[in-house]
Amino acid sequence: MSNQLAIDTQNLSALRGRASRDPEGSVKEAAKQFETLFMQEVMKRMRAASMSNGLMDNEMSKLGTDMLDQQYAQAMSGVPGGLSAAIERQLAGGVRRATGDNPLSITGSKASTAEPLPDLAKKNVPLHAARFIQKHDAAAKAVSADSGIPAHFMLAQAAHETGWGRSEIKNKDGSSANNLFGIKAGPGWTGKVAEITTTEYENGVARKVTAKFRAYDSPEASFRDYAQLITGNRRYAAAVGALQQTQTADASTAQRFARHLQAAGYATDPEYANKLTRVINTTVRVQRALA
């Protein structure tokens, strides 16, 4: 598309078709087109304000000048930090409101009619939380059946570690590493790795460090590896024991589980247990609203 004339009708038609299929993916190109049109109008006004020599001016020369201005406008558009970047941010927000904050299905931000969300606004339920839970609910339940760890505990911890899916660990190419639990790649890990900058707490003081994290082929693989880590490592025996002491995974069980995880060194954040407990409670509230 970048090799075509700036406002070629076929170019715009192709952009409209792409937008209907992939609204978020077409935002950058749409923003560039807006900036191109703006820059073209600026150049048009500049030429109108300048004096013409009249010797070589005719309809063909004016057409050629217009076409040249279109290409100049396109060449000047889309640079980092330019007008298109600001337009892109505005368009992206509109796309998220139009395709992300409306009742959708477990597919996430793209519209689908498979499993529409109920009207959650009246129940004061965040839609991003509802989407996250719907997206990973099946995987959590499957792993829960095999491991005995309550599905909503795992969903809550994945939500806490990823900010409800908005701060997932990324690979170098920008794709998701599917690491929903912030599990690091220790010496014994032989799988794929994603290296990122993260926050660690040392003596209660937060600091930024670069660390290697495990990467998975799918979110369910992340759930399974987490369950294997929790149930197969003796350091988390007390946390697993908290789950086995009661028949129902109630609020008190969640609090004990979270505290044992923190005591075992799952995370360095001194408030980790309290934060995780709150997210577990939120997860239960969202699940009830979705039921």
**Active-site residues: which are they?**
200, 225
Residues 196, 169 contacting (CB under 8 angstroms): yes
Return the amino acid letter for 91: L
Lookup result for tokens 């170098």: 172
d(C-alpha 242, C-alpha 236), whole Å: 10
Helix H or strand E segment including 196 = strand 192-202
Task: Write out the two tokens for 226.
Answer: 């987490």
d(CA 267, CA 166): 19
Return d(Cα 276, Cα 283) in angstroms, integer.
10
Backbone angles phi, psi at 196, to 5 degrees: -140, 170
**Tokens, residue 43:** 């150049």
The single-letter DSSP state of residue 100 is I
Provide the H-helix boundaries in the chain. Answer: 9-21, 27-49, 59-75, 83-95, 127-147, 151-162, 219-232, 237-244, 251-263, 272-290
Hey, how many other C-beta atoms are within 10 angstroms of the C-beta on 259? 18
Helix (H, G, I), strand (E, B) or coil at 236: helix
State the Cα–Cα distance between residues 194 and 177, nearest whole angstrom. Answer: 7
Please return the burial class of 33, using the count of CB atoms within 10 Å of its CB with bins 0-12, 13-18 and 19+. Answer: buried
Q: Which of 100, 83, 82, 84 is nearest to 23 (CA)?
A: 100
